Structure 1
Amino acid sequence: MRTKTALIHGGKTTDPLTGAVTPPIYQTSTYKQDGIGNLREGYEYSRTANPTRTALETLIADIEGGASGFAFGSGMAAISTILMLMKSGDHVIVGSDVYGGTYRVFNRVFQSLGLEATFVDTADTQAVREALQPNTKMIYVETPTNPLLNVTDMRLIRAIADEADVLFVVDNTFMTPYFQNPIELGADYVLHSATKYLGGHSDVVAGLVVARTEELGERLAFLQNSVGAVLGPQDSFLVVRGIKTLAVRMEAIEANALALVDYLTKHEAVSRVLHPSVGSEEAKRVHLSQARGFGGMIAFDVGSAEAAELVVAKTKYFTLAESLGAVESLISVPARMTHASIPAERRLELGITDGLVRISVGLEDVQDLIEDLEQALATVATIPN
């Protein structure tokens, strides 16, 4: 089954009782048992399993090519549950410019529980090897990264993970299963903030994880049930609905993004444009060896915090907001929004400058988006030197 077909026909999304082609919303907390321990279809309590959540979990497992899927109340709940696979004293290697919430949960939550983390550029495999410690148990990467769109060679990280006998986890939120499938490249767990492209309509907060093997899935299933940060049935329904249109949305979003990249790279007010399509030749080679597209996330630098503030204030079709992956185009300043939890000196060291603007390209007419950026960028010229 090819990807477009799997997005629509994958998982257990047809109701076995009625034949409904859309999974019903089973708004129930508990289930009648036909005798003690005699469960109907294995359902006992909705923290453990719910038919609407099962529809989503089997669907994401199918389209990511894994053994089992898990739906959580948010992307951060999914990440936190993955980190609960670790114990006090364990060490994790983490990509250097991950999402600010991921950085925060490592540094301000799990560090206090005894988990050690080293942040390195995972595109530099030598740096990853040098970061290995006797207590290293996991390598955690985003590719491309948020917000600098850096690319990590997942095959090389898998080889390092094998040598060190550690787990390999990939956040696939930016690329989605339509463009990239990390499990095929050796990831043990792949996760998504399903709030973003998978939901796709700015109307749900959710997180998803797919495990490569049944054994890895059993470990996560125990934690999901024990900790209980599960996704509710209505939100599960919304994510299933969003996934069914993922292919057509991602194709249109990418087409718009490529046109905007071409426009931005030629604009005199923009000092750099970050997108997998315009990275170094080596980064593009690696990306195209493991992905089927470039995606819809773009970052560009306008030189200063003042210029960035003017640009986001003047846009009309780009909505100033957190998040990404929706049908509407969104714009943000990472240093002051999504990555504000990272210390300023660390942001500058990574290249997350005060003038960096991040856009999540939507489905509007691309000419309207270009004209919107044109009039917003024109204000940058009014800033005194």
Structure 2
Amino acid sequence: MLITARHHAKDLQRYLDEQLTRAFVYVVDFEGNIRPVKKSENGSDLNEISVVVYPPRGAKEAKAFWQHTGFGISSRRATYWLENAPFLNRGRELPEAIFPVQEAKEAKVAIQQRIADSFSTEDNKLKKSDVLLYPTGMSAISHIHDIISLYTTTTKKTIAIFGFLYVDTIKVLSRIHGYECKIYSGTQSDLETLEEELAAGLELCALFTEFPGNPLLGSVDLERIKSLPDEFFFLFVVDDTVGTSVNVDVISHCDVVCTSLTKMFSGGCNVMGGSVTLNLKGSGLWDMKRRLKDRYVNTYFPLDMIVMEKNSTDCEERVTEASQNAGSQTQQLYEKYKRPGKGYGYLLSIRFNTPAAAIAFHDALDVAKGPSLGTNFTLACAYTLFAHFHELEWAASYAVVEHLVRISVGIENGRFMDEVIKTALNAAERAKVSHRNLSPELVGYTATILFNRALSIGEGTKEECMYTSVLIISEKSTEFARGEEVSPYSELPTGNDRLKYLEKFDQPFTNCTRPAYSLLSHTTSRN
């Protein structure tokens, strides 16, 4: 396996050794010379690639390491070697390889400054030196582990996962780095539980959350969490990939922000990257944040950096356009951290009441299909089946249901989105839908589109309410539900009166300038 840097290759070697698979680390230079890596060697060299060799039985775990850490070399770096390394081109006369070193240096500075400016607020002006760049979003998160590990003890090896996070974040922390990950759903009551457990002696290395989460799009109370790290000495890390620094200010309320630049920052779907942004103005944990800087090693391939810089020049405009296409009003907690005049992100998740409707909708949705997000074009996937195929019951216990369709909205014309959504909804309605598992009040409603954790109105809901943006789709027609405020399920009328109350939303949506599926405001309860 080809790895970006010598110390990352040794990390893979250690991981495979723990799985009882003997592995060896070598360095191959541009001329084809091979030598073993010394224990004291770290870092990366443009003229070298680190290679980890292991028996076939180690392939599954090596692939997991590669996927979850993001430490593998980029396709652009592999292509450069294939086309220019003399030992891979014997018998061919190669032109002298001209490497744009200065252009890459300028691109790095431009990206760092662009990110620093985007995160800055009136009270907290960031410098480009506060931004660290990485080859992938997951390698940025893995670097945070390098620092956290310096502060772990036999009794302090727990990380709080607040809200259900992106699959690779959970896996890299638990499976690869061996932390005990304690998962909280992310509600206010969960926050109260966390506070009580910390007061009772729970020791954390860090707390990770996303704002909003992926795929459920939940928003947590950052301000309330912010008061805990100083008192109980742990690092507070927020991933803002879905919300973006264009839309929300999270740096003021945490220690560190991780971002996958592969997503909307680039948008081009042709380069990967990640960043760690440090809130050095924040109180406490100075030593930990200083070490993040001191131990940083640049492993970003220069040609990737150049492409990333070019792609991201119009990042703010694209985020704004995609956010307008994707949705409007959302829950109150998101509003608390939203920048004035900005949007609600580009990600939607759709939870269907029946598998048949989900399959029909997904198959008829005429957009690109794939597991990424944040592309300039709209991209959809059956998220849970991609990310949690071997743990569906576990994912469902956190409301990440099997037949969830996730849509990353692009910057296409709004009319295009109207048409493709309408066609897919028609297909869902034509599907043979069984209502055996639905409460009588919900017969006739096929799906709920989730904007920042808007969950279906149904039996078994809790009393806690949140403002969300929801679309209830009628099975009887393709008319959109009326955008009105709905009471919590526990406060709805009973019996036939409840059915009549819900039926009033089965009306055409009129007098709106944006697509109806992006404008609805609901108050509902969380299942």
Short-chain TM bin: 0.7 to 0.9
Q: Deviations over 1:13-53 (max 9, x none)?
A: xxxxxxxxxxxxxxx949xxxxxxxxxxxxxxx9xx95533
Deviation at 1:152, TM superposition (A): 0.6
CA–CA separation in structure 2 for the residues paired with 1:109 and 1:353 = 25
Aligned equivalent of 2:163:
96
Amino acid at match of 1:323: S
Instruction: Report the TM-score, using the length of structure 2 for normalisation.
Output: 0.55
Identity of aligned residues (%): 24
Deviation at 1:131, TM superposition (A): 4.6
8 Å Cα contact 1:330-1:361 kept in structure 2: yes
Match of 2:259 among 179, 187, 192: 192
1:334 aligns with 2:383: yes
Amino acid at match of 2:338: A
1:221 aligns with 2:221: no
In structure 2, the residue corresponding to 1:84 is in which secondary structure? helix
Aligned equivalent of 1:313:
363
Aligned equivalent of 1:353:
401
1:257 aligns with 2:326: yes
1:64 aligns with 2:132: no
More displaced stretch, 188-197 vs 287-296: 287-296
More displaced stretch, 147-156 vs 162-171: 162-171
CA–CA separation in structure 2 for the residues paired with 1:380 and 1:312 = 9
CA–CA separation in structure 1 for the residues paired with 2:180 and 2:268 = 36
Match of 2:311 among 242, 247, 263: 242
Match of 1:364 among 400, 406, 412: 412
Deviation at 1:179, TM superposition (A): 0.9
8 Å Cα contact 2:346-2:409 kept in structure 1: yes
CA–CA separation in structure 2 for the residues paired with 1:357 and 1:333 = 5
8 Å Cα contact 1:328-1:363 kept in structure 2: yes
In structure 2, the residue corresponding to 1:350 is in which secondary structure? coil
Which runs of 5 or more residues in structure 2 are unaligned?
Answer: 1-44, 48-100, 121-125, 281-285, 435-527
CA RMSD, Structure 1 to Structure 2 (Å): 2.4
Aligned equivalent of 1:52:
107
In our comparison, the structure showing a higher alpha carbon Rg is: 2
CA–CA separation in structure 2 for the residues paired with 1:241 and 1:91 = 40
Deviation at 1:349, TM superposition (A): 1.2
Amino acid at match of 2:118: I
CA–CA separation in structure 1 for the residues paired with 2:222 and 2:240 = 12
CA–CA separation in structure 1 for the residues paired with 2:380 and 2:427 = 16
Q: Deviations over 1:165-190 (max 9, x none)?
A: 221110010111111121222x1110
CA–CA separation in structure 1 for the residues paired with 2:170 and 2:197 = 17
Aligned equivalent of 2:217:
149
Deviation at 1:348, TM superposition (A): 1.0
Deviation at 1:134, TM superposition (A): 4.3
Amino acid at match of 2:265: L
CA–CA separation in structure 1 for the residues paired with 2:390 and 2:228 = 27
CA–CA separation in structure 2 for the residues paired with 1:181 and 1:166 = 21
Residues 215 and 330 from structure 1, CA distance in 2 versus in 1: closer, same or farther, beyond 3 angstroms? same
Aligned equivalent of 1:158:
226
Deviation at 1:341, TM superposition (A): 6.0
Q: Deviations over 1:266-303 (max 9, x none)?
A: xxxxxxxxxxx34xxxxx22211111221111111222
1:129 aligns with 2:195: yes
More displaced stretch, 166-175 vs 129-138: 129-138
CA–CA separation in structure 1 for the residues paired with 2:244 and 2:165 = 16
Amino acid at match of 1:368: F
Instruction: Report the TM-score, using the length of structure 1 for normalisation.
Output: 0.74
Amino acid at match of 1:244: T
